[in-house]
Structure 1
Amino acid sequence: MSDWTPADMSSQAGKTVLVTGANSGIGFEATTAFAAAGAHVVMACRSTDRGRDAKREIESEYPGASLTVRDLDLADLNSIRAFADWYRAEYDALHVLANNAGVMAIPRSETAQGFETQFGVNHLGHFALTAHLLPVLRQTNDESRVVTQSSGVHERGRIDFDDLQSEDDYDKWTAYAQSKLANVLFAYELDRRLRTAGASVTSVACHPGYAATNLQLRGPEAEGSRLRTLAMKAANAVFAQSAEQGAWPLLYAATNPDIDGGEYIGPTGLFNMRGHPGQQESSERSHDENAARRLWTASEDLTDASYDLPDP
C-alpha cells in the first residue's frame, strides 16, 4: 500500500498550475498544496468573490504564495472560451490542468447552452476547457499533465447515447454516475490520442474517495431538504476523510514522477474511500474504447471544441 503524502511532492517552483473549482473543498486544498510547493496557481472559480476569499486564506498561511483568481463558469461555453482566450494571452505554459470542479446529485437543471447540468459541467465543460488550452499544454517546455477528477460512483455509470441530457428520464444519481464515467472515458481517450500524436502531455484520471466537502450538501440544499442536509453532514463527520486528504489523489496524479499517463488514481485504504493514494482499476465500462470514441465525437459536436489530435 502506498504511504505517499503531499510532503513527498517535489518542488513545483517555476510551474504553472490551473485548478478549476479552486475556492473550496478539494480544489482549495489542492491549490494550497501546489502553492506551498512553489507553483503559481491560477484559481479558476465561478465566484471570484469566493475565489479572492480563498486566495487571502492561503496567503495568510503561505505569505509567499503565487496565486491568480479568474472567473470561469463551466456551465457556459462562452465563459470557458473567454477564460481560455485570457489564459493564452497571459501565459505561455501550463504544467498541470486540474479538471476538478463539479456538481453532484442535484435536481435537474440546464447549463447556458441547454445541457443537463451534471453532464454539462462535470464532463462537457472540462472537455471544452481542455480543448481550448491544449495548444499551451503542448508548447510547455516540461512535460505537462491533464488530471481529471472522477468518482468511485463512475462504476455505476452508463453512457446513454440516446438521452445524454437526461431529457426523457432524469435520476440525479444516474446522471451523476454518467458524468463521472464520462470523466474517466475522456481521460483515457485523451491520453491515447496524445500518445498517438507523440505529445509531451499526459492525461490521468483520479477520484478523492469519500471526502467531506460542500459537494455532498448542494443536492439536499437545492431540494430544500433540511433532513437530508443534516444526514449528509452527520455522514461526513462520521465516515468521511478530510477534504485535505481527498486532494491527495489529484496531487499524486499531477506530480508523481512514476505517472506515465492513462492511470486511475485514488485512495488505497478502506474500500478505496480513504487513505494514501495509488493506482487503482476503474470499471470495465471505462475501458470501452468504442464508447470513448463515440463520446468524444458527441462532445466535440455539442461543444464545438476541437482537438488537433489524431485518432488513436
Structure 2
Amino acid sequence: MKKSLSLATLALLALTGCSAGQNGSDSSQEASDHGTYEGVTNWEGSNDDGAAFRATADVAAPAGVEEARKLMKKSETPLHFLAVTVDNIHGTQPVSATAASFTTPEGELVEYTTVGDYLNDYEAAESESGDAENRVIEVHNAFTNDDYDVVAGQKKTVVLASDHEYPHNVTHATVNGTTSLAPSETSAETDKATGAPEPSEAVGSNDKLADLNGTTLKGNDINFRIFSPNAQKDLNAAMPAQLKGAWGALCSNAATEEQLKETGATANGHHWRPFQYAVSESGVGALSGNADYKEYEAASLAEMSHGGVCAVIQSPDESAAAETRSATVGHYLGNATLESTVEVK
C-alpha cells in the first residue's frame, strides 16, 4: 500500500529544508570572506606535510644586506623585510620558504622573495672596486634559494625582502603561494635569523677624495678629481710597480681630450702628471693589457660621472690620494713643471 504524508508533515519538512540550506550558505560565506585584517604583523599557517610557518613583518635587515646595497649604490631604494620561522620538526618532506604575499582591500599584491633577488651578481659589477664587488657577491651568496630550504626534522628562520612597504590592511596572506596564513599572537624567531658573514677583507670607500672645479686661462671649465680609495687600490693592483701611486682625472665639457692629456696639477705639495707622462717618466715599457684597460676604464668611469671628457692623471706618491679642498691646474711641461696655472676648488 502506498503511503502518503500529511500536509502538516510536508510543511514541516519544507521549513526544515529551507532553514538548513540557508544556514549552510551563511557558514560557507563566513569561512571564505573574513574581511580585512588591520594592523596585523604576525602570521601563522601550516601545510599538509606537517610544516608550520610563523611570519613577522617589518623586521630589521639581515647582517650585510644594507652594506651590500650601499656598495651597489642602491641604498636610496629601501627594502622591507619579513622573517619566517619554518618549523619542519614534525614534517615529512623538505620544504622551503622563498616567497610570501599579502593582498590589500584595494587588490594590491605585495610580494616578498629571497634577499638574494635584490643582490644580483650583475648589479655587483656596477660597483667601483673589486673589493666592493666581491663583498656584494659574498652577501648575495648567503641568501640563495638553497639557504631557504628546510629539511624534514629541521627548524630554521629565514628572511624575505620586498621593495614595497608592508601593507597594514590585509585581506589574504600566503607563504610559497599555497599555504594560507592567519593572524598569530606569536612572532617569528627573529633572533635566530641568519645573515651574511663578516667581510673576508676590508672594503674601502667608493667616495671621491676630491672633486674640484675652476676655469682655465683659455676659458674652459676644468674639473680635478681624486679617485676613491677603492679605485686607487684597483688601479695600483693592475699597474706595474713603477706606476704605483695616486690616481685621479681631469675632466671638462669644453676642453678636448688632447688638451687634457697635456694638463697636470699640484695639490698638498704633490705633483700630478698626465698618464702618458707618468708612463714615460717612470721608465715603464709597454703596458700589459690589463693595465692599459684599467686606465681606459678609469677614464670612462670618470666621464660617466662627470658628463664630459676626462683624462687620467697620476702622482708617484700614494699619499697624494687624500681628501683635498684646493689644487692648482696648468699645462704640464714635464718633470713636475706647470705653466699657465689656475686654482680649482
Q: Structure 2-normalised TM-score?
A: 0.22
Q: Which protein has greater RCO, CA pairs closer than 8 Å, 6+ apart? A: 1
Higher fraction of helix: 1
Given the two structures, how large is their TM-score scaled by the length of structure 1?
A: 0.23
> Which one has the largest radius of gyration?
2
Q: Going by fraction, where is strand more abundant, 1 or 2?
A: 2
